Amino acid sequence: MGNSKRRQSRQRSLILEELRSRRDHPTARDLFNSIGRRFRGLSLATVYRNLDILSEQGEICRFNFGDSARFDGFTFPHDHIRCVVCGRLDDIPVKNNFRGVIPKNIPEGYVYIGHRVDYQGICPACRLRA
């Protein structure tokens, strides 16, 4: 059991390291394909399980779009724009600490814990194909 625990920690570290080296907001399968070349014995289920753990721990951000999820290794305040054609997700820097503003019209009974802004558009590559 001790060996299994250590292996899972190493796998989680590799997944986090790979995710933080990328700016393309990969899917679990993207990460699996990239890490699997260097780490034999890694399964797609292990990648999903560790992404869930990292997300629950607040180490990464998860974005669900329909049947797919994309992941971001950077949790500093920033927004995103998603291409409605291909699903590409890009960062938008937040200026003037806008994130410090708490909405005033939150329905009664809610406890505010934060917010995320996601914009939609058509990416440059999809615009060229149109």
26 is written with which tokens? 């990969």
CA 123 to chain centre: 19
Report which of 106, 15, 101, 115 is spatially closest to residue 60, judged by C-alpha positions: 15
Q: Write the pLDDT tens digit of every residue in 1-40.
A: 444 443 457 889 999 999 999 999 999 999 999 998 788 8
pTM of the model: 0.77
Q: Answer yes or no: are the C-beta atoms of 71 and 19 closer than 8 Å.
A: yes
Q: Answer yes or no: are the C-beta atoms of 83 and 65 closer than 8 Å.
A: no
